[in-house]
């Protein structure tokens, strides 16, 4: 399973990269707004390029458009994609968004269809030619729907029609989300660094390690 980091924070990206398990980055307008107090287009562009330069060969960075009409999304998508070859253009699941995904993918620009909450939205994303679809499972769970169940439905639909769109499970809130994704064979998850850390830590590992070292050190060889 691929691990993406859901952040625009360079320090977090460097930390995840040092673990050797980083397959890509996803950002969104909220995440980028956390990095800057004032909007500065030049700085933000440089920021995206810096992130791309930190990534390994097969990895990519999803950058979301902030426009919401077909024409503007295409214009912005083309501009974003020219910044760096590792950039995938993130487009929201709207009527204009679907048209923009179709146009961009027909023109060789990879897209990530974001803000997906239903199997039918995911079906449309795949039919439009999206490289990735991002179902937001945590936000569904927050409303008492079942995010993992949605992923299973999307996997089933994609299998029925042999769609090549990759499922990138998003809005990951906890380690259970990640283990459930792994059990059903999801292509990738995108999570904040604090969730990735919870995969490493276990109190029994710490207790066990402390005891091993304690036993070893109290003996005089
Ligand atoms: C995905 O691409 C989004 O950036 C993200 O996962 C949203 O997660 P949130 O629900 O924690 O904001």
Nearest atom of ligand 1 to the alpha carbon of 28: 4
Residue 220 has pLDDT above 80, yes or no: no
Q: How many domains does the chain have?
A: 1
pTM for the full predicted model = 0.95
The whole-number pLDDT of residue 40 equals: 87
Catalytic machinery residues? 90
What is the per-residue pLDDT across 4-54, written as a single tens digit (0 to 9) for each? Answer: 999 999 999 999 999 999 999 999 999 999 998 788 899 999 999 999 999
28 CB under 6 A from ligand 1?
Answer: yes
The whole-number pLDDT of residue 38 equals: 84
- Please compute the mean of the pLDDT values over residues 55-59 and round it to a whole number: 93
User: Cα–Cα distance between 101 and 168 in angstroms, integer?
Assistant: 16
The domain in which residue 192 lies consists of 2-218
DSSP states along 23-57: -EEE--HHHHHTT-SS--HHHHHHHHHHHHHHS-T
Structure tokens belonging to residue 110 = 């990879």
- Please compute the mean of the pLDDT values over residues 62-86 and round it to a whole number: 97
Q: Read off the pLDDT band of 161 (50, 70, 90).
A: very high
| CATH code at position 8 | 3.20.20.70
Residues, the chain: 221
Interval between CA 101 and ligand 1 midpoint (Å):
19
- Please compute the mean of the pLDDT values over residues 95-105 and round it to a whole number: 98
6 CB under 6 A from ligand 1?
Answer: yes
């Amino acid at each position: 399973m691929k691990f993406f980091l859901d952040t625009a924070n360079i320090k977090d990206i460097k930390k995840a990269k040092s673990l050797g398990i980083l397959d890509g980055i996803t950002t969104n307008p909220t995440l980028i707004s956390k990095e800057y107090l004032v909007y500065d287009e030049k700085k933000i562009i440089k920021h995206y390029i810096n992130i791309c330069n930190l990534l390994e060969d097969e990895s990519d960075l999803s950058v979301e458009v902030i426009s919401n009409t077909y024409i503007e999304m295409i214009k912005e998508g083309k501009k974003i994609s020219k910044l760096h070859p590792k950039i995938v253009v993130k487009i929201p699941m709207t009527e204009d968004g679907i048209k923009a995904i179709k146009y961009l993918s027909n023109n060789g620009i990879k897209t990530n269809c974001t803000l997906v909450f239903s199997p039918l939205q995911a079906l449309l994303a795949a039919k439009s030619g999206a490289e990735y679809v991002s179902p937001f499972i945590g936000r569904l769970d927050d409303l008492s729907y079942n995010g993992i169940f949605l992923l299973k439905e999307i996997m089933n639909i994609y299998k029925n029609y042999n769609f090549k769109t990759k499922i990138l499970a998003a809005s990951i809130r906890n380690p259970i989300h990640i283990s459930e994704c792994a059990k059903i064979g999801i292509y990738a998850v995108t999570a904040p660094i604090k969730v990735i850390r919870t995969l490493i830590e276990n109190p029994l590992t710490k207790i066990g390690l402390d005891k091993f070292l304690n036993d070893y050190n109290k003996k005089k060889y």
